[in-house]
Structure 1
Amino acid sequence: MQSLIGTGVALVTPFKKDFSVDVDALQRIVRFQIDNGIDYLVVLGTTGESATLSKAEKELVIQTVVETNNGQLPLVLGVGSFNTADVVEELKTRDLSAFAAVLSVSPYYNKPTQEGIYQHFKAVAEASPVPVILYNVPGRTASNMAPSTVLRLAKDFKNIVGIKEAAGDIVQAMKLIQGKSKDFLVISGDDMITLPMVLAGGSGVISVIAEGFPRQFSDMVRLGLQRKVDEAYALHYVLADSIDMIFEQGNPAGIKEVFKTLGLSENTVRLPLVNVDENLAGRLRDFTNKLSV
């Protein structure tokens, strides 16, 4: 899966002021990523507010991204649920021919044991016609995928090719990197520790901040993969304050404020999410305008 080494972005779903999906804005955002050095696109992840989209809206988002991308970058589709049977059914019935892989989150709300997580992803791997990237984000799922579970899955199922590791724990990430096979991808799901993870042997990132500042962030990851440490950290520290800001009042409210400043989309989010307050909006505008100069 060499095509998924580097910087992927978790695409937002832009909405108009009436909360409908803004197809034109989504096309602009996809082109912005393509034109500014992003390596691959992730569709319908958490950042895409997939939990608030209807089935028809999800199909519209997928169709728009696939058509706009037109084969230029690899695509990854978010396919996950707390109901294993639903994930299996989607994997068996959806046309995944446009996608290099699926990104599947560890079951949320249920709080399964490690054996339950293993059995869930066993069923996912056996059902999926394309490679599977696991997604560990205990801040949202309320349960952590232990490195031993991840490595067991990677060993037992050849089509489990990587993990988006978003526990925010560099030690856990290093244990994964230490124990993995050569080709298994350990992908950062935490923008702030992306560079340390890459330098420790990680494969890159699936990022939120990178879709707002794709050139700078993807350059940082590229330099990290090339072991150009000082140059990479110089970019990291340019971007560090913005990473804190975009998550300060929730994702994707922060990154959508960046897109509004860039003229790519409205900053509209759907309930239960709300826009960032004016103080944070002002700080994000200032940062974005300074970096864009």
Structure 2
Amino acid sequence: MQSLIGTGVALVTPFKKDFSVDVEALKRIVNFQIDNGIDYLVVLGTTAETATLSKQEKELVIQTIVDSNNGRLPLVLGVGSNNTQEVIDELQTRNLSDFTAILSVSPYYNKPTQEGIYQHFKAIAEVSPLPIILYNVPGRTASNMLPSTVIRLANEFKNVVAIKEAAGDIVQAMTLIKNKPKDFLVISGDDMITLPMVLAGGVGVISVIAEGFPKEFSEMVRLGLNKRVDEAYKIHYLLADSIDMIFEQGNPAGIKEIFKSLGLSENTVRLPLVNVNEDLANRLYYFVDRVTNM
């Protein structure tokens, strides 16, 4: 799965001020990523506010991204739920021909045991026509998919090819990297520790901040993969404050404020999310202005 090495971005769903999907803004955002060095695009992840999209809106988002991308970059589709059968049904009925892999989050809210998490992904792996990227994000799911569970799945199912590891725990990430099967990919899901994970043996990131600074962040990852440590850390420290800022008042409210500053889209988010406050908006605006004028 060489196409999953490097920098992927979890695309937002831009909304107009009336909260409808802004198709033209989504096209601009896709082209902005491609033009600035991103390696692949992730469709309908958490950052897309997928939980607030209707079935028809999800189809609109998918088709807009597929058409705008026009085969230029690999696409990964988010297909996850805390209802195992729902994931199975989608995988068996959706046309996945435009996608390289699926990204599937560990079940949220239900708080399954490690055996329950294993059985959930076992059932998905047995029917998925595409390679599977596991997604561990305990801050959202209320349960941590332990390295032992991940490695069990990776060893038993050839189509479980990677994990987006977003526990924010570099020791856990290193445990995965140390014990994984040879070709299994450990992908950072935490922007702040992406570079340390890459230097430890990870293959890249599925990022939020890279949407706003695709040229800089993807270059940092490439430098890290080539072990050009000092150059990579120079970019890391340039962008570090913005990583904190975009998550300070929730995702994707922060990154959408950056897109507004860049003139790519409105900053509209759907309830229960709300816009960042004026203080944070101003700080993000000045940060964007400083970086883009360097």
| Shorter-chain TM-score range | over 0.9
Unaligned 5+ runs, structure 2:
none
- 2:165 aligned with 1:156, yes or no? no
Residue equivalent to 1:258: 258
Question: Which residue identity lines up with residue 130 of structure 1 in the other structure?
Answer: L
Residue equivalent to 2:196: 196
**Counterpart Cα distance in 2 of 1:66 and 1:127:** 23
Residue equivalent to 1:26: 26
Question: Which residue identity lines up with residue 171 of structure 1 in the other structure?
Answer: V
- 2:68 aligned with 1:68, yes or no? yes
Question: Which residue identity lines up with residue 252 of structure 1 in the other structure?
Answer: P
**Counterpart Cα distance in 2 of 1:233 and 1:86:** 42
Superposed displacement of residue 183, structure 1: 1.0
Runs of 4+ in 1 over 6 A off after TM superposition: none
Task: Name the % identity.
Answer: 81
Residue equivalent to 2:97: 97
- 2:86 aligned with 1:86, yes or no? yes
Residue equivalent to 2:108: 108
> What SS does structure 2 have at the residue aligned with 1:161?
strand
**Counterpart Cα distance in 2 of 1:284 and 1:150:** 36
> What SS does structure 2 have at the residue aligned with 1:291?
helix
Superposed displacement of residue 79, structure 1: 0.2
Residue equivalent to 1:51: 51
Residue equivalent to 1:221: 221
Superposed displacement of residue 224, structure 1: 0.1
Question: Which residue identity lines up with residue 229 of structure 1 in the other structure?
Answer: V
**Counterpart Cα distance in 1 of 2:88 and 2:153:** 17
Q: How does 1:242-257 map to 2 (within 5 A)?
A: 242-257=242-257
Superposed displacement of residue 5, structure 1: 0.1
Residue equivalent to 1:187: 187
Superposed displacement of residue 276, structure 1: 0.1
CA RMSD of aligned residues (A): 0.3
Residue equivalent to 2:135: 135
> What SS does structure 1 have at the residue aligned with 2:126?
helix
Unaligned 5+ runs, structure 1:
none
Question: Which residue identity lines up with residue 244 of structure 1 in the other structure?
Answer: D
Q: How does 1:167-186 map to 2 (within 5 A)?
A: 167-186=167-186
Residue equivalent to 2:206: 206
**Counterpart Cα distance in 2 of 1:165 and 1:178:** 14
> What SS does structure 2 have at the residue aligned with 1:90?
helix
**Counterpart Cα distance in 2 of 1:12 and 1:71:** 19
> What SS does structure 1 have at the residue aligned with 2:256?
helix
Superposed displacement of residue 181, structure 1: 1.5
Residue equivalent to 1:126: 126
Question: Which residue identity lines up with residue 122 of structure 1 in the other structure?
Answer: K
Q: For residues 119-173 of structure 1, give each alpha carbon's deviation from its aligned partner in whole angstroms, at most 9, with x where no partner exists.
A: 0000111111000000000000000000000000000000000000000000000
**Counterpart Cα distance in 2 of 1:194 and 1:170:** 9
Question: Which residue identity lines up with residue 43 of structure 1 in the other structure?
Answer: V
Superposed displacement of residue 182, structure 1: 1.7
**Counterpart Cα distance in 2 of 1:39 and 1:181:** 24
Question: Which residue identity lines up with residue 292 of structure 2 in the other structure?
Answer: S
Residue equivalent to 1:289: 289
**Counterpart Cα distance in 2 of 1:126 and 1:137:** 23
> What SS does structure 2 have at the residue aligned with 1:163?
strand
> What SS does structure 2 have at the residue aligned with 1:127?
coil
Question: Which residue identity lines up with residue 83 of structure 1 in the other structure?
Answer: N
> What SS does structure 2 have at the residue aligned with 1:76?
strand
**Counterpart Cα distance in 2 of 1:52 and 1:282:** 27
**Counterpart Cα distance in 1 of 2:251 and 2:261:** 16
Residue equivalent to 2:77: 77
**Counterpart Cα distance in 1 of 2:223 and 2:166:** 21
- 2:210 aligned with 1:235, yes or no? no
Number of aligned residue pairs: 293
- 2:272 aligned with 1:272, yes or no? yes
